[in-house]
Amino acid sequence: MKLSTMSRGEGTSTAAVLVDGLWRRLPAPDVGAWLQSGQDAEPGEPLTGWRPVNPLPSPGKVVCCGLNYADHITETGRDLPTHPTLFAKYADTLIGPDDDIVAPDDVALDWEAELAVVVGRPIHRAGRDEASAAIAGYTVANDISVRDWQRRTLQWFQGKAWDRTTPVGPVVVTPDELDPAAGVAISCRVNGEVVQSADTRTLVFDCAALLSYISTFTLLRPGDLVLTGTPGGVGMAMDPPRFLADGDLVETEIDGIGVLRNRVRLLA
Amino acid sequence: MKLSTMSRGEGTSTAAVLVDGLWRRLPAPDVGAWLQSGQDAEPGEPLTGWRPVNPLPSPGKVVCCGLNYADHITETGRDLPTHPTLFAKYADTLIGPDDDIVAPDDVALDWEAELAVVVGRPIHRAGRDEASAAIAGYTVANDISVRDWQRRTLQWFQGKAWDRTTPVGPVVVTPDELDPAAGVAISCRVNGEVVQSADTRTLVFDCAALLSYISTFTLLRPGDLVLTGTPGGVGMAMDPPRFLADGDLVETEIDGIGVLRNRVRLLA
């Protein structure tokens, strides 16, 4: 099943489900609210002239995992981890699948293509099986990072929590249709050039492991979002380092989910 | 002016203002909601038999600063910072001024007495003066930390985001009554023994500086909370390190604001 949040203009939005190639309304303003409502996916009226926006505009928690692909860990010069490296970002960072990535023109902006997992039911201190069963679906994200701020101190948060920098979408695919642990291609292109290309099979901590681990210390609720980390190929690891320029087009793709196409807008 | 959120039992709460030694109702369920409403502090009926609870039960953002007192930085073996070290925690971590601190019995729990600043109006990319004018008031917090989890990886978040571990309160004192930059005593006692004792005058980054810095990357809204860091004297820096045991009483005090008294409950 594919779920999305659709809009036909400012201030309008609805959750939607794809049925025989046609998006149909679900009775909630967005996928997060629909998951919280606990309702069945009973398709309503068809939605023509609507476009997919950020499926999860207001998750209470957005938890991110760093250093979770073996090749990206290697490019940062580190050993394979025994525990996931976690940090938080805010719902305010999230934008839709074709929104502009907006940042000041004096920061070092970098890409991080990521598989994101959407929580479908409340979990607290959940084992692997319970965590796995709580997965509502998967979506694409790009944890666009402000590298100079990320590296100012020991804690990455201030490089990761810039409003309107993290595209999410275009749809949420339920686990019956997609199994990232079995292997799904993930990639990032900048102005058409492939900069990241990997397989979710090589995640050190898979989605169920991450949800279980996080639920040890905090309650996860329907609509919460966990970004699972980025593979190798980020700009800061290039020689010389490469950062995003005004007007660059960042495309983030996961097979079976879809593509985010976001233009970089750097403001004075 | 002193503000609080008062309750007389499960499910009841109201914002309140202290007038001539008597708490009087404000027209909102808590201080955060009252700040968001933008209303004047028009005192209503007196509240007898009500007790102060967490003044800010649901801030959208709780940003914490680490390494912000010169003596605590020294005890962790670091140089004075040029930028604030920031991380996030969730509203779910917050508890009231006399609630139990609840954690599993197999973690290394440590105290961190902190001055917390409450945001009173929206700020984005605010300079120092605008940030200063956006301060609604000050309260006491203890950024109780799970040290073994905090140290598992490079990022502290997983040791800082445990539900029901961070006491806040008992009141919010407005800036006309309290000036932390001029110097206010802050202390932490464990079972009556003073373990932390410092002055907010020695903060490396003061409240206005922190709000201004954070507002560079994310919008701060009324009711958001910024924890300003802890002074020297934490348990992990003791020789041998000392952690909290089941039944320990943690008292966190800031002159002119009040005292948090929280019992530690470690659960199997």
How far apart CA B61 and CA B37 sit, in angstroms, is 17
Task: Tell me the nearest-neighbour CA distance from A60 into chain B, angstroms.
Answer: 8
pLDDT at A73: 80
Contacts of A146 in chain B (CB under 8 A): 217
CB contact under 8 A, A155 and B85: yes
Per-residue pLDDT tens over the stretch B23-33? 999 999 999 99
pLDDT at A168: 98
pLDDT band at B229 (very low <50, low <70, confident <90, very high): very high
B-facing residues of A in 117-146 (CB < 8 A) are 124, 146
pLDDT at B98: 97
Per-residue pLDDT tens over the stretch B54-111? 999 999 999 999 989 987 787 778 888 999 999 999 999 999 999 999 999 999 999 9
Residue among A61, A93, A161 minimizing CB distance to B90? A61
- Indicate the average pLDDT of chain B: 96
A31-40, A63-72, A253-262, B68-77: segment of lowest average pLDDT: B68-77
pLDDT at A77: 81
CB contact under 8 A, B157 and A92: no
Residue among B93, B153, B161 minimizing CB distance to A85? B153
Residue among A93, A146, A155 minimizing CB distance to B87? A155
Percent share of chain B, pLDDT over 70: 100
Instruction: Please report the beta strands in chain B, taking only residues with DSSP state E, as ranges in sequence order.
Output: 2-7, 14-19, 22-25, 51-53, 62-66, 85-89, 94-95, 101-104, 109-110, 113-119, 135-142, 145-146, 166-173, 185-190, 193-199, 225-227, 249-254, 258-267
Residue A37's H or E segment, with its range, is: helix A31-37
Is B44 a residue whose pLDDT tops 80? yes
Q: How many Å separate Cα B80 from the centre of its chain? A: 23
pLDDT at A34: 97
A-facing residues of B in 10-39 (CB < 8 A) are none
Q: Is A156 helix (H, G, I), strand (E, B) or coil?
A: helix
Closest chain B CA to residue A213: B158
Contacts of A84 in chain B (CB under 8 A): 153, 158
CB contact under 8 A, B218 and A157: no
Q: Is B46 helix (H, G, I), strand (E, B) or coil?
A: strand
A182 touching B (Cβ < 8 Å): no
- Give the list of residues 6+ apart from residue A58 with CB closer than 8 angstroms, or none: A30, A32, A91, A223
Helices (H), A84-162: 128-133, 147-150
A154 touching B (Cβ < 8 Å): yes
Per-residue pLDDT tens over the stretch A145-174? 999 999 999 999 999 999 999 999 999 999
Burial class of residue A59 in the structure, from the number of CB atoms within 10 Å of its CB (0-12 exposed, 13-18 middle, 19+ buried):
buried
Pairing of strands B166-173, B225-227: unpaired
How far apart CA B75 and CA B60 sit, in angstroms, is 32
Mean pLDDT of A15-34: 97
Residue among A60, A67, A157 minimizing CB distance to B87? A157
Angle at A23 between CA A20 and CA A24, to 5 degrees: 100
Burial pattern A206-240, b for ≥16 Cβ within 10 A else e, equals bbbbbbbbbbebbbbbbbbbbbbbbbbbbbbeeee
Is A265 a residue whose pLDDT tops 80? yes
Burial class of residue A266 in the structure, from the number of CB atoms within 10 Å of its CB (0-12 exposed, 13-18 middle, 19+ buried):
middle
Question: What is the helix, strand, coil percentage profile of chain B, to 5?
Answer: 20, 35, 45
Give bridge partners of residue B194 from the DSSP assignment. B189
Task: Tell me the nearest-neighbour CA distance from B139 into chain A, angstroms.
Answer: 23
CB contact under 8 A, B86 and A60: no
Residue among A82, A163, A219 minimizing CB distance to B218? A163
Per-residue pLDDT tens over the stretch A59-112? 999 999 998 998 778 777 888 899 999 999 999 999 999 999 999 999 999 999
How many other CB atoms are there within 10 angstroms of residue B151's CB atom?
A: 15
Contacts of B60 in chain A (CB under 8 A): 90
Torsions phi, psi for B17 (to 5 deg):
-130, 140
Contacts of A85 in chain B (CB under 8 A): 153-155
Q: Which two tokens stand for residue A180?
A: 């990232």
How far apart CA B169 and CA B98 sit, in angstroms, is 9
Q: How many Å separate Cα A105 from the centre of its chain? A: 24
Mutation for testing the A interface, residue in B217, B219, B220 having most A CBs under 10 Å = B217
A205 touching B (Cβ < 8 Å): no
* Contact (CB, 8 A) for B53 and B96: yes
Is B199 a residue whose pLDDT tops 80? yes
Is A40 a residue whose pLDDT tops 90? no
Is B196 a residue whose pLDDT tops 90? yes
Per-residue pLDDT tens over the stretch B207-216? 999 999 999 9
- Indicate the average pLDDT of chain A: 96
Residue among B85, B88, B158 minimizing CB distance to A153? B85
Contacts of B147 in chain A (CB under 8 A): none
Contacts of B224 in chain A (CB under 8 A): none
A92 touching B (Cβ < 8 Å): yes
